[in-house]
């Protein structure tokens, strides 16, 4: 697919506004919320919320359009998708915004009130009725959060090991959820707030592995769902990361995303595991963009600090004349740009209605490695200053690593790339 590097005015204007917010609001509170892990950055949340509501409303409108001609309880029609997606720049707009916000502070960016990963799952596999019921709330009222709970103590990369169960009570026509989810981003904000929601992955039949899994929407404050622990973390400390226990948690039958029929050949695996993968194809470019934002923050600061000391990279100089520090700076800039180009490509494909499964994983792997390497190098090049609490460089190094862990670790995404490039199936290459 040919790529145009020209951005629509709308994205350019939005990005410059977000950059201002990142510089003036986020940077000034960055250290405070790193030092005070379980406090929430309301001064940022309240400023960003009106803007997020507009994005949520536009996303919902676009998502509902895919159901035109369908009943409210039916999934989006396959033909409606590519036609509608062709004109979209929604993902390109999002990655520019996320990159700029993460340049400001990645942990605070992750505290943004939004439907987030929970919303992405509903957009991917929900019916029109479910989208209206669950996502309209993000277009109005006070700030609220969505989350996705997949990881469990025994199930991280291997999602087929999920133990949380969903059982139908025929007497009340409700699902009953039981199990424990860990490391859920915004889990406490989404789970405790009455208008928040968490998309919880549970199994209807453990013997069917991935094919038995389904996502369920659990609304904040539902009895039987309890936030039992808040994580203390290395980085992105402003972000809320929760353990959530489901103890006979009852939810309406219509809160299942996708068909409850496991034997239905049409829905077999499709609305379960493949639904989750569709969500990750959309969100991995966002994680890559966040990684690029942190890397750019560290790189720009280090480059400018060294420049003030007279250390710059000469243009067009032969490699053998460069110092080790100059070569480091060049390598860092090259990695940063390569990661950003892959991120742009993965988002542009999605906007064009094309599959980006391979490109989303490529971007995530490259950006995860680049941000880890670049931020460590920055601490190294700045010497004791880089390691000091006085600057944010040591914080950026701690914030970086998560991008190589959540939404598929570097190893898992490398595995996905290898399978796609070499033409192996999940069982042939694991
Ligand atoms: C701050 C934070 C926020 C998170 N937010 C969420 C969230 O909102 N929702 C959610 O559901 N989860 C969330 N997670 C969980 C995250 O997605 C998992 O940590 C991740 O999927 C890895 O799972 P694991 O930690 O169990 O590691 P494991 O799967 O146990 O892996 C351990 C190591 O082995 C490697 N490995 C595993 N399998 C293979 C393989 N086949 N080949 C090569 N290497 C392999 C991994 O790459 C990793 O390095 C979050 C985690 C953190 C730390």
Q: What is the tens place of the pLDDT at every residue in 211-254?
A: 899 999 999 999 999 999 999 999 999 999 999 999 999 999 99
Measured by CA distance, the residue closest to atom 17 of ligand 1 is: 406
Choose, from 23, 180, 407, 428, the residue flagged as catalytic: 407
- Mutation choice for ligand 1 from 183, 238, 369, 424, CB with most ligand atoms inside 8 A: 183
List every span in the chain annotated with CATH 1.20.140.10: 275-422
Decide if pLDDT at 54 tops 60: yes
Which of 8-17, 276-285, 292-301, 360-369 shows the lowest mean pLDDT across its residues? 276-285
May I ask the CATH architecture of the domain 275-422? Up-down Bundle (1.20)
Q: What is the pLDDT of residues 189-201, one digit of tens each?
A: 999 988 999 999 9
- Regarding the beta carbon of 91 and ligand 1, being less than 6 Å apart is answered no
- Mutation choice for ligand 1 from 112, 114, 149, 156, CB with most ligand atoms inside 8 A: 156
List every span in the chain annotated with CATH 2.40.110.10: 9-271
- Regarding the beta carbon of 230 and ligand 1, being less than 6 Å apart is answered no
- The average pLDDT across 388-413 equals 97
Is there a catalytic annotation at residue 193? no
- Regarding the beta carbon of 157 and ligand 1, being less than 6 Å apart is answered yes
- Regarding the beta carbon of 409 and ligand 1, being less than 6 Å apart is answered yes
- Regarding the beta carbon of 151 and ligand 1, being less than 6 Å apart is answered yes
Output the CA 227–ligand 1 centroid distance in Å.
Answer: 20
Instruction: Classify 9-271 by CATH class.
Output: mainly beta
| HEC readout, the chain | CCCCCCCCHHHHHHHHHHHHHHHHHHHHHHHHHHHCCCCCCHHHHHHHHHHHHHHHHHHHHHHHHCCCCCCCCCCCCCCHHHHHHCCCCHHHHHHHHHHHHHHHCHHHHCCCCCCHHHHHHHHHHCCHHHHHHHHHHHHCCCCCCEEEECCECCECCCHHHCCCEEEEECCCCEEEEEEEEEEEECHHHHHHCCCCEEEEEEECCHHHHHHHEEEEEEECCCCCEEEEEECCCCCCCCCCEEEEEEEEEEEEHHHECCCCCCCCCCCCCCCCHHHHHHHHHHHHHHHHHHHHHHHHHHHHHHHHHHHHCCCCCCCCCCHHHCCHHHHHHHHHHHHHHHHHHHHHHHHHHHHCCCCCHHHHHHHHHHHHHHHHHHHHHHHHHCCHHHHCCCCCHHHHHHHHHHHHCCCCCHHHHHHHHHHHHHCCCCCCCC
Q: What is the pLDDT of residues 119-140, one digit of tens each?
A: 999 998 899 999 999 999 999 9
- Regarding the beta carbon of 150 and ligand 1, being less than 6 Å apart is answered yes
């Amino acid at each position: 697919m040919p790529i145009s590097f020209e951005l629509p005015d709308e994205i350019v204007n939005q990005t410059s506004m977000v950059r201002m917010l990142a510089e003036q609001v986020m940077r000034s509170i960055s250290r405070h919320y790193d030092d005070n892990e379980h406090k929430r950055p309301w001064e940022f949340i309240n400023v960003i919320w009106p803007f997020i509501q507009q994005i949520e409303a536009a996303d919902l409108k676009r998502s509902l359009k895919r159901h035109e001609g369908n009943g409210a309880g039916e999934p989006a029609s396959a033909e409606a998708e590519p036609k509608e997606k062709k004109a979209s720049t929604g993902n390109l707009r999002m990655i520019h915004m996320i990159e700029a916000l993460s340049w400001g502070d990645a942990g605070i960016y992750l505290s943004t009130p939004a439907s987030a990963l929970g919303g992405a799952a509903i957009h991917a596999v929900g019916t029109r009725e479910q989208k209206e019921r669950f996502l309209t709330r993000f277009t109005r009222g006070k700030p609220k959060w969505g989350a996705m709970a997949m990881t469990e103590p025994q199930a991280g990369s291997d999602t087929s090991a999920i133990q949380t169960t969903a059982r139908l009570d025929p007497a009340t026509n409700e699902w009953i959820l039981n199990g424990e989810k860990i490391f859920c981003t915004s889990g406490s904000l989404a789970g405790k707030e009455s208008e928040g929601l968490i998309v919880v992955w549970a199994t209807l039949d453990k013997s069917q592995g991935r094919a038995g899994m389904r996502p369920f929407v659990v609304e904040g404050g539902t009895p039987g769902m309890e936030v039992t622990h808040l994580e203390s973390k290395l980085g992105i400390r402003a972000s809320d990361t929760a353990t959530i226990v489901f103890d006979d948690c009852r939810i309406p039958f219509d809160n299942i995303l996708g068909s409850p029929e496991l034997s239905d050949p049409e829905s077999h695996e499709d609305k379960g595991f493949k639904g989750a993968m569709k969500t990750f194809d959309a969100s991995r470019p966002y994680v890559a963009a966040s990684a690029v934002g942190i890397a750019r923050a560290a790189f720009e600061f280090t480059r400018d600090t060294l420049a003030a000391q007279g250390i710059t990279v000469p243009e067009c100089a032969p490699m053998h004349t460069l110092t080790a520090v100059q070569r480091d700076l060049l390598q860092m800039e090259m990695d940063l740009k390569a990661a950003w180009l892959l991120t742009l490509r993965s988002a542009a494909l999605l906007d064009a209605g094309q599959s980006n499964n391979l490109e989303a994983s490529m971007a995530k792997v490259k950006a995860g490695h680049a941000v880890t390497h670049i931020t460590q190098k920055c601490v190294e090049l700045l010497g004791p200053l880089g390691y000091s609490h006085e600057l944010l460089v040591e914080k950026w190094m701690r914030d970086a690593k998560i991008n190589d862990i959540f939404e598929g670790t570097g190893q898992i995404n490398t595995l996905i790339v290898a399978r796609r490039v070499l033409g192996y199936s999940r069982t042939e290459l694991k």
